[in-house]
Amino acid sequence: MRKILPIITLLLFVSITVPKAYAATTQASESCTIPHSRLDWRIDASTSTNTVKDCVIAQFNPTLGKLNSVSITAEATTDTVQKMENKDVSPHTMNSTVTVNLNLKNTASTSDIITLSIAAADATLVADAFDGTLDYAGTSGKSFPIEYAHDNTTVSYSSASDITQFSGTGSLTFPVYAIAQWSCTGSGNAQCGVDTYATAAISVTYTYEIPEPDLIINSCTTQTINNDTTGIYPIHMANQGNADINGDIIVTGTLPSCLSYQNVTSTNWTCTNSRSSDKDTFTCTFTGIVPAGASVPELPIKVKAHACTNLGDSYKISVQTNGETKTTNNSLTCSVGLGSTESPDIDDSSLNTPTPSVAIVKNDSITDQDNDTSASPSNRSPQVLSSNSSSNSSDTDSTVGNVLGALASTGMIIAIPAIIGTSLVGLVYITRRKKDKSDKV
């Protein structure tokens, strides 16, 4: 029997998602504030008076990263003072209402980006008949306290065509329009007044990706190593981020006790090894630039196997570098397994040797009709064949012989198995007889 040699198989157990460029997502905001002022932010066509407030916003600097989306928020706070006086000789109920409309225009002032409609103030006065003094006080008038109101809304853009205008090194100017609409109802003889002020703020938030490297260990390739021999298994890594790695890449791993570190067969890596508790721990360093999307030079670790007998021994390999924040894919676990390169010998002593077939020959008692010229094809008796090992054939043997004899009378050359009972015992050979001169053609 041949000896079966144990071998060591270094196996990788890992689940890796489809590589995708990695970048940290962050935000930057730009804003402007319109100071507190009386509401009349508009262009008066009749007087060509322009009181529109301009909001200047810095564009997103493309050197910061890739711009993904833009959000614009407009908010306004109003403060309104209302006053009413009934000048009629009869009592009346009076109502005053103020609504503020604010519009943030696009940079060309051709359309609205945001519209706010603020219910700024609402007051009711139950007034007596005019008390003789127009002072918005007394029994026929009133000055109401300041009434505050606030509103805001946000719009977002993410399509390339919408956010292109926000990217650059300059600034964008957004015009802000705002007017107050007021109504006062009640007596036909009355006097009302209103003063409305507002402050507004426009903020733009840029959401973008900061390019950064993303170092990943792809695999530690499966290798087969015999006990008491050496082998090399390569560790493969890559930068799947969207920024270059420019610094040290450090790989560490502690081998199981049945594997000992030998060296690294690469000039790209510098490695050291330390041994503790019968286990080797290696530390390898690569210094250089690994572009975004490129592979790190292969790290070929040479090890020696000795007395590896246990399945399931495992060891962890880790990698690190500066400048990355995603580290969940920076390690793998490799396991040691046992296998065999040879199959065991098969003991063939119990196998049976096949018994050769027994040939069937013509019985000596059969008359040779090949030389009988008086026998015509129509009156010749069929030749009967039987085994020469027995003169007492069974009915089955006789039947088989009759069939074979009938076939022989046709003059054909045939070779068929002869069956005696249920056993295959040989072959029957029948040769074509010579034609007699008396045979008719």
Range 322-331 average pLDDT: 85
3.40.120, 2.60.40, 3.30.1490, 2.30.29: CATH of 6-21+215-340 = 2.60.40
Task: Grade residue 32 by pLDDT with cuts at 50, 70 and 90.
Answer: very high
Strand partners, 86: 190
Q: Does 362 have pLDDT greater than 60? A: no
Computed on alpha carbons and rounded to an integer, the radius of gyration of the chain in Å comes to 53
Task: Grade residue 219 by pLDDT with cuts at 50, 70 and 90.
Answer: confident
Q: Does 112 have pLDDT greater than 90? A: yes
| Contact predicate 209/21, CB 8 Å | no
Query: What type of residue sits at position 134?
Result: L
Q: What are phi and psi of 168, to 5 degrees?
A: 160, -170
C-alpha 260/C-alpha 339 separation (Å) is: 19
In three-state form (DSSP H/G/I as H, E/B as E, the rest C), the secondary structure along the chain is CCCCCEEEEEEEECCCCCCCCCEEEEEEEEEEEEEEEECCECEECCCCEECCEEEEEECECHHHCEEEEEEEEEEEEEEEEEEEEECCCCCEEEEEEEEEEEEEECCCCCCEEEEEEEEEEEEEEEECCCCCCCCCCCCCEEECCCEEEEEEEEEEECCHHHHHHHECCCEEEEEEEEEEEEEEECCCCEEEEEEEEEEEEEEEEEEEEEECCCEEEEEECCEEEECCCEEEEEEEEEECCCCCEEEEEEEEEECCCCEEEEEECCCCCEEEEEEECCEEEEEEEEEEEECCCCEEEEEEEEEEECCCCCCCEEEEEEEEECCCCCCCCCEEEEEEEEEECCCCCCCCCCCCCCCCCCCCCCCCCCCCHHHCCCCCCCCCCCCCCCCCCCCCCCHHHHHHHHHHHHHHCCCCCEEEEEEECCEEEEEEEECCCCCCCCCCC
Model confidence pLDDT, tens digit, residues 11-30: 333 333 334 445 678 999 99
C-alpha 225/C-alpha 233 separation (Å) is: 10
| Residue 236 exposed, middle or buried by CB count within 10 Å (0-12, 13-18, 19+) | middle
Question: What does the block give as tokens for 250?
Answer: 């450090």
| CA-wise closest residue to 153 among 102, 87, 90 | 102
| Residue 424 exposed, middle or buried by CB count within 10 Å (0-12, 13-18, 19+) | exposed
Predicted confidence at residue 132, as pLDDT, reads 95
Question: What does the block give as tokens for 106?
Answer: 């696009």
Share of the chain above pLDDT 70, in %: 68
Range 267-294 average pLDDT: 93
Measuring CA to CA, how many Å separate 153 from each of 40, 82, 150, 157, 369?
Answer: 21, 27, 11, 14, 122
Q: By mean pLDDT, which of 134-143, 261-270, 295-304, 384-393 is the weakest?
A: 384-393
More confident site: 334 or 267: 267
Q: Does 200 have pLDDT greater than 50? A: yes
- The C-alpha torsion from 271 through 276 and 279 to 284, rounded to 10°, is -10
Q: What are phi and psi of 7, to 5 degrees?
A: -130, 165
Question: What does the block give as tokens for 296?
Answer: 């790190």
More confident site: 375 or 215: 215
C-alpha 90/C-alpha 126 separation (Å) is: 11
User: Mean pLDDT score of the chain, rounded to an integer?
Assistant: 77
Question: What does the block give as tokens for 320?
Answer: 């690190």
Model confidence pLDDT, tens digit, residues 33-89: 999 999 989 987 777 788 999 999 999 999 999 999 999 999 999 999 999 999 999
Predicted confidence at residue 126, as pLDDT, reads 96
Strand partners, 418: 426
Measuring CA to CA, how many Å separate 421 from each of 6, 84, 407?
Answer: 54, 133, 20
Instruction: Give the contacts of 298 (CB within 8 A, at least 6 positions apart).
Output: 234, 235, 236, 266, 268
Q: Does 327 have pLDDT greater than 60? A: yes
| Contact predicate 259/304, CB 8 Å | yes
Predicted confidence at residue 333, as pLDDT, reads 83
Q: By mean pLDDT, which of 125-129, 196-200, 253-257, 417-421 is the weakest?
A: 417-421
Question: What does the block give as tokens for 202?
Answer: 């426009």
